């Protein structure tokens, strides 16, 4: 299992949420954003995988909701995080040629290099085989993507199809299920890029 520390995460966003007036901490509505590209498997069972990736963003997750996710993880771990996350709906994410699943949280932040970073966290579908076999993978209840887009709406990123999320210190740590994260390549967008939490 590999762990990926999200340096930007809740330490920054929760400070924003705490310091901003309640009227400013809201979901930023915008025209829909479509992000399309390819998922490229790097290692493990998905080595060599190459299939379409699509993200539809209807709205960005507010600083208040990010704080709720942080509090849920702090008070009840992954189960409580899953309960709170399942009530959110920011868009839709699809791997391959299917309708995909709800993208529960989409968090947008600017980077120092002038790009936009999108963090996507969602409740993944646990299949019947995992449940019947009592597979260890059923403990990895989340899907995760980290996307970097430039001013032209092009970019790349990382995709973890089965992840755990833990709170360590002031940030989140994402642990993938025994595989290298897949790469998101050739990403292109249509619609408005931006809408960072504020």
Taking CA atoms, 4 is separated from 18, 102, 114, 157, 165, in Å, by: 25, 23, 23, 13, 10
The pLDDT assigned to 83 comes to 95
The pLDDT assigned to 119 comes to 95
The pLDDT assigned to 109 comes to 93
- Over residues 75-89, the pLDDT tens digits come to 999 899 999 999 999
- Of 77-86, 127-136, 187-196, minimum mean pLDDT range: 127-136
Look up the pTM and report it.
0.79
Which two tokens mark 81?
């995080």
3-state secondary structure of 117: strand
CA distance 197 to 149: 16
The pLDDT assigned to 15 comes to 34
Kindly report the number of other CB atoms within 10 A of residue 162's CB atom: 21
- Over residues 39-53, the pLDDT tens digits come to 998 866 666 779 999
Which H or E run includes 128? helix 128-133
CA distance 70 to 55: 23
Q: What is the band of 180 on the pLDDT scale with cuts at 50, 70, 90?
A: low
Q: Please state, rounded to an integer, the average pLDDT across all residues of the chain.
A: 79
124 CA to centre of own chain: 11
| Residue 189 in this model has a pLDDT that exceeds 90 | yes
| Residue 7 in this model has a pLDDT that exceeds 60 | no
Go through 105-122 and write b for each residue having 16 or more CB atoms within 10 A of its CB, e for each that does not: bbbbbeeeeebbbbbbbb
The pLDDT assigned to 44 comes to 62
CB 49 within 8 A of CB 92: no
Q: What is the band of 13 on the pLDDT scale with cuts at 50, 70, 90?
A: very low
């Amino acid at each position: 299992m590999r762990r990926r520390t999200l340096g930007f995460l809740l330490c920054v966003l929760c400070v924003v949420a705490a310091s901003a007036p309640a009227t400013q901490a809201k979901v930023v509505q915008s025209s829909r954003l479509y992000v399309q590209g390819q998922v490229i498997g790097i290692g493990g069972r998905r080595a060599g995988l190459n299939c379409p990736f699509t993200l539809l963003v209807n709205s960005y997750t507010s600083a208040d909701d990010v704080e709720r996710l942080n509090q849920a993880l702090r008070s009840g771990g992954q189960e409580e995080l899953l309960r709170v996350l399942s009530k959110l709906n920011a868009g839709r994410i699809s791997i391959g040629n299917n309708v995909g699943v709800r993208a529960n949280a989409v968090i947008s932040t600017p980077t120092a290099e002038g790009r936009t970073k999108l963090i996507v966290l969602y409740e993944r579908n646990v299949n019947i085989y995992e449940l019947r076999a009592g597979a260890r993978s059923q403990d990895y209840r989340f899907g995760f993507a980290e996307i970097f887009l430039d001013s032209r709406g092009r970019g790349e990123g990382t995709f973890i199809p089965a992840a755990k999320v833990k709170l360590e210190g002031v940030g989140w740590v994402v642990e993938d299920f025994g595989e290298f994260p897949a790469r998101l390549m050739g990403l292109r967008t249509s619609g408005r890029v931006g809408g960072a939490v504020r």
